[in-house]
Amino acid sequence: MCGIAGLVLAPGGVSPQPATLATLARALAHRGPDGSGHASVGRTAMLQTRLAIIDLTTGDQPLFAGSAALVANGEIYNYRELRAAMPEQRFASNSDCEPPLQLWLRHGAGYAGHLRGMYAIAIHDRAARSVTLSRDPFGIKPLYVAPVEGGLAFASEPSALLAAGLLKPRLRTAARDELLQMQFTTGAETIFQGIERVLPGETLVCAEGRIIERRRIAALPDGGPEEIGEDAALARLDAALTESVDLHQRSDVPYGMFLSGGIDSACILTLMARLNSQPVLAYTAGFAAPGAADERTAAAEVARAAGARHEIVEITEAMVWQHLPEIVACMDDPAADYAIIPSWFLARRARQDVKVVLSGEGGDEMFAGYGRYRSAMRPWWQGGRVMRGRGSFDRVDVLRTRPAGWRDGIAAAEARAATQGRTRLAVAQATDIADWLAHDLLLKLDRCLMAHSVEGRTPFLDPGVAAAAFRLPDALKVREGRGKWLLRKWLERHCPAARPFAPKQGFTVPIGTWIAAAGARLGPLVAAQPGIAEIAEPGRVTALFRACTGRHEGFAAWTLLFYALWHRAHMQGLAPAGDVFETLSAG
């Protein structure tokens, strides 16, 4: 995994400045500590900071061919197959990112349709004076673009653009309201005015300091449910999952996986154990808190059945308060998902042994695991509910003004997902895959792992798996009040120790319990933060933290704490100043 950035400036202006490029590289160094490279021609410059995973000796970037140069952040899993399909081509390296460069020379902006992997790619054509930017269809790897003085800038993280002084941090209030109500933000526009996401699957062609062409690859297949029986569906699923995990294990450095007590990661471990001759290294988070939902026991049973080497990472209240400011600071594109806490600590532990981890992100979305999907399947007169119909602060009277329009982005995603033939269930899944997955779960995985220079891979988010799973009949996704029916049946057959049909315990970070215990101390500190004072009554904030006993109150308090720390780091530009209490007390 890596970081990339660059400038595409218009004719007649200044050329990219070395100091700006150096600042961009420093801001992305955590994404690529193994080296850096850059190319600057005329008014275009690109750079990469490298985390070496494949082709450790000759894979440095930029890569050059003809009049083109490439920098990339990601992994192209089918790079061997792409090389084999070009037998006449002489490759200069063994890098997985050289085949995309050759494909671009052959197919132009349509090259990304041949790729299977996770990626954010920039290709500069010196002859045409253009830059092509591409992002993988699921949005596993991030890429941002912004108009700046004299043209355009792009980077793997918004914080790099801000650190280089290319833009000033200005808050987009509509995105802030989305964040408060839903814990993530939707669509192309970020919370920073002027900085946009390259959307999942998008390819942009940029020239003369502006975007001149857009095209997009869909992550999911079109059409309604297909006709297939359970046995045939299981056989197809086994083949698709096996192929995907095999591809996702391609690496020249050690790898492991994140193992929860759920069925998604149990499936990944089962397949990894099948495909590896040595024990798989699996990491599980647990919480030292009374009454906390803890998955360590269930994970240990699956690890034993798979013959895995199992490492437990116990997370304590003291650890969270000590490191929460830096955890939140790594979420420059904010997602107030408390799962950032175990993700960050797991990555910190895994980095001692490996550079790559496989994870189960995408399983719930691809196989219909969430309870909200089962509700969305029913019409309103049968008790069905719109997904995310209520925000976190609709039941808690803290904010000065109730957010308006916060659901507009997700409503637009729902409308786009409702293509012909899709059932209510498929529309709900497609909506989540377009926004919730890309702008919460995958964003969290990228930032928390990259903070420790660890690459995260997601085998469920693969075109082969999508083809095998997304258009399944509803009855093979949801049955007897359970989601992920077919995946459960597969796991029951291949790893019964996972108990895939047992009642789900759930995984909850006990942050509400910890906030309640420290509420009298935390409340005044949070209420005094400039970002919070803009949106909430201080007295109500302190009262909320003092009486943080219910689920809704606990979630609202966590969201305010996250936002206070995020605003301090990314709008005020202040570095963490110790633990959470010291940081919030500092000027």
Q: What CA–CA distance (Å, rounded) separates 70 from 50? A: 13
What does the alpha-carbon distance between residue 413 and residue 368 come to, in Å, rounded to a whole number?
17
Residue from 210, 216, 64, 96 nearest 145 by CA: 210
**Residue 364 has which token pair?**
């719930």
As a dihedral over the C-alpha atoms of residue 151, residue 157, residue 162, residue 164, rounded to 10 degrees, the angle is -70
Q: Does the annotation mark 97 as catalytic? A: no
From the CB of residue 226, how many other CB atoms can be counted at a distance below 10 Å? 12
CA distance 281 to 301: 14
Nearest to 376 by CA among 443, 428, 324, 449: 428
Q: For residues 548 and 514, is the Cβ–Cβ distance under 8 A?
A: no
Burial of 575 (0-12, 13-18, 19+ CB in 10 A): exposed
Distance CA 102, CA 90 (A): 10
Bond before 62 cis per omega within 30 degrees: yes
Rounded Cα distance between 105 and 82, Å, is 14
Yes or no: say if 366 and 266 are a contact pair by the CB < 8 Å rule: no
Which is the catalytic residue, given 2, 97, 267, 495? 2
- Which residues are annotated as catalytic? 2
